[in-house]
Amino acid sequence: MPQPRHRLAIHWFRRDLRLSDNMALWNAVENAEEVIPLYVLSHWQGTHHWTGPGRQQFLCGCLESLSKNLETIGSRLTVRGGHAPDIIETLIRESRADAVYFNRDPDPYGRQIEDQVRERCRQIGVAVCDYKDTVLHEPGEVLTGSGDPYRVYTPYSRTWFAQAKPSPVGRPKTIRTPEGVFSDPLPSLDHWKLSLPDGLSLPAAGERAARDRLKAALSGPLQEYAAQRNDPAVDATSHLGPDLRYGTISVREVFHQAQKAADQSQTASERDSIHTFQKQLAWREFFMAIMGHFPNVLDEEFNPQWRGLDWNDPEKDDAFNRWCDGRTGFPIVDAGMRQLRETGYMHNRVRMIVAMFLTKDLHLHWRLGEAHFMRHLLDGEIANNNGGWQWSAGTGADAAPYFRIQNPWTQSERHDPTGTYVKRWVPELANTDASRFFRPPESSRPIADDYPLPMVDHATEREVTLDRFKRHRAD
C-alpha cells in the first residue's frame, strides 16, 4: 500500500459542497493521513452585486447538509469567516498542515483568490494540489485547430462533444480529521445581515436533494425536453442549476447519468431530448470559456462594435423598477419577473423574453438586468448570466443580431398559448381570456381592471432600438 504524500491536508470546499465525485476531496483523502474539511464564509454584509438572500439561504442549506454528511463518515466541517488566503494561512499555522487541496473556480474572481492562496502557500512551503471539477472541459481544453478560443457556440459544441468526458470518482468511506480544530457555527442569513423576503419559496438543498432532482428529471421531464423545453407552463427542465452552481452534484455525474439514460432509451425522441439537455451543459461551459478567455466581458460588451451604445438613464423614470416588480403591463414579462421574485427561478425561454424587453423595449443597459438576476437567481452563474444577457442585448458572443427583437405579445402566444404560465404568476389575470395576452389592448382599457396598461408600445420601441444600433454602427 503506497505511503500518504502528506501528513495533514486542508480540503478547501468552494463550489463542490458534496462528498461524492469530488475530485480534490477524493485526492486529499487518498494522499493524506488526515484531512481538515474547510469552508470559508465571505465577510461582506448587506447588499451584494453578485448574490442575494435567496441564494445565500440555499448556500446555508448546502453547508448544513455537507456538515451532516461529513459527520456520518467520522469527520466534521470547519467553518470560518473572512478572506480565504488569510483564513487558510492561519489554519495552516495552527494545524501544521502540509498541503492544501481545492477544486479550481471558473470565475475570474475565484481565480484571483486561488492565485493568492497559491502564493501564500508557496511562501510558507506548503503544497497546493488543485483540480478540474466544476466543468467537464476547462477553457484551454476546447480550442480551434489553430489554438484560438471559439467565439461561436456551434463549432465549440462540436469540439466539446467530440472530446472524451472524464468519469466520476468515488465517495470517501471515511475521513480522518484531527481533534481540536476551531470552527465558527454554521451560518444563517444573519451572518451577511440579510433576511429572506416574504413569500420566497426555496427548494431543498444539499447532495441528496440534488441527486433526487437528477433522478426525477431523467425519469420524466428530460425525456420530453426537446419538445417541451420552451414551454414555461410545463415543468420540463431539470432544475439542477443551483446544484451545479454550488456543486452539490458534479457535472460529471449529470452528464454520464444523462448519457446512460439516453443509451437505455427506447425511442429516438427520448435520446434526442436527453442530447438536447446535454447541449445545455455545453452552453454552460461555452460561456465559462468566453469569460475565461475574455474576462473583460464582466465590464463591457464582448463585441467591441457595440461598446459605448446609447442606453436610457434608469434614474429618469421608474421603468426599471416596474420591470423588476413585474408591473410592465406585458403579461409574459410580468409573469417571469414575479416567478423570479417568488422562487429564485425563471424559465429559460422567459429569461430571454424579459431580457430583450429590458434592453430592446425599455432601452436600459443589460448590466442592470444582469445584476438583478444575480441577486435573485438561485442558479446565478456569473458566466452564464453574463452570456445570456449579452446574447439578448445583441452585444455578446454568438449573440442574437441587434435586429432580432422578440415581440412579447407573440412570444406569449407561441410559448404559452393557453395562458397557463401567465395566470399562474399574475393572479389578477387568472380569469382573463388568454387571447388578451397575445396582442396589446386596442384602446386605453387595460387587460384587466387591476392590471396596468402596457408601459410602452412595442412596435414603436422596436424602431427606436433599430435606429440606435444603426446610428451607433455608423459613427
6: alpha, beta or left, given left = phi > 0 and alpha = psi -120 to 50? Answer: beta
Q: Residue 445 has what pLDDT?
A: 87
pLDDT of 235 above 60: yes
pLDDT of 3 above 70: no
For range 203-231, the mean pLDDT: 92
pLDDT in tens, 437-467: 999 998 788 999 899 999 999 999 999 999 9
Q: How many CB atoms lie within 10 A of CB 152?
A: 10
Percent of the chain with pLDDT over 70: 99
pLDDT in tens, 17-36: 999 999 999 999 999 999 99
pLDDT in tens, 171-181: 999 999 999 99
User: What are the structural domain ranges in the chain?
Assistant: 6-134, 135-167+208-293, 304-474
CA-CA-CA-CA torsion sign (18, 195, 78, 100): positive
Q: Residue 168 has what pLDDT?
A: 97
Pick the CATH number of 135-167+208-293 from 1.25.40.80, 3.20.20.140, 1.20.1260.10, 1.10.150.530: 1.25.40.80
Residue 288 contacts residue 238 (beta carbons within 8 Å): no
- Reduced to 3 states, what is the DSSP secondary structure of residue 396? coil
For range 80-96, the mean pLDDT: 98
* Cα-Cα end-to-end distance for the chain: 70
- Rounded to whole angstroms, the Cα distance separating 118 from 131 reads 13
For range 407-414, the mean pLDDT: 98
Q: Which residues of 38-52 are buried (b: 16+ CB within 10 A; e: fewer)?
A: bbbbbeeeeebeebb
Q: Residue 236 has what pLDDT?
A: 86
Strand residues in 97-217 grouped as ranges (E)? 99-103, 127-131
Residue type, 239: H
pLDDT of 389 above 60: yes
Q: DSSP per residue over 215-243, as a string?
A: HHHHHTGGGGHHHHTT-TTS--S---HHH
pLDDT of 2 above 60: no
Report residue 41: phi and psi, to 5°: -80, 135
For range 150-177, the mean pLDDT: 98
pLDDT in tens, 329-386: 999 999 999 999 999 999 999 999 999 999 999 999 999 999 999 999 999 999 999 9
| Mean pLDDT over the full length of the chain | 95
Q: Which residues of 333-360 are buried (b: 16+ CB within 10 A; e: fewer)?
A: bbbbbbbbbbbbbbbebbbbbbbbbbbb
6-134, CATH topology level: Rossmann fold (3.40.50)
pTM beyond cutoff 0.85: yes
pLDDT of 100 above 50: yes
- Rounded to whole angstroms, the Cα distance separating 241 from 377 reads 9
- Strongest mean pLDDT among 111-125, 306-320, 387-401: 111-125
Q: Residue 214 has what pLDDT?
A: 97
Report residue 179: phi and psi, to 5°: -80, 160
Q: Is 304-474 a domain of CATH 1.10.579.10?
A: yes
254 band by pLDDT with thresholds 50, 70 and 90: very high
Q: Residue 461 has what pLDDT?
A: 97
- Reduced to 3 states, what is the DSSP secondary structure of residue 12? strand
Nearest by Cα to 157 from 277, 286, 302: 286
Strand partners, 129: 101
pLDDT of 392 above 90: yes
pLDDT of 1 above 80: no
pLDDT in tens, 184-213: 999 999 999 999 999 899 999 999 999 999
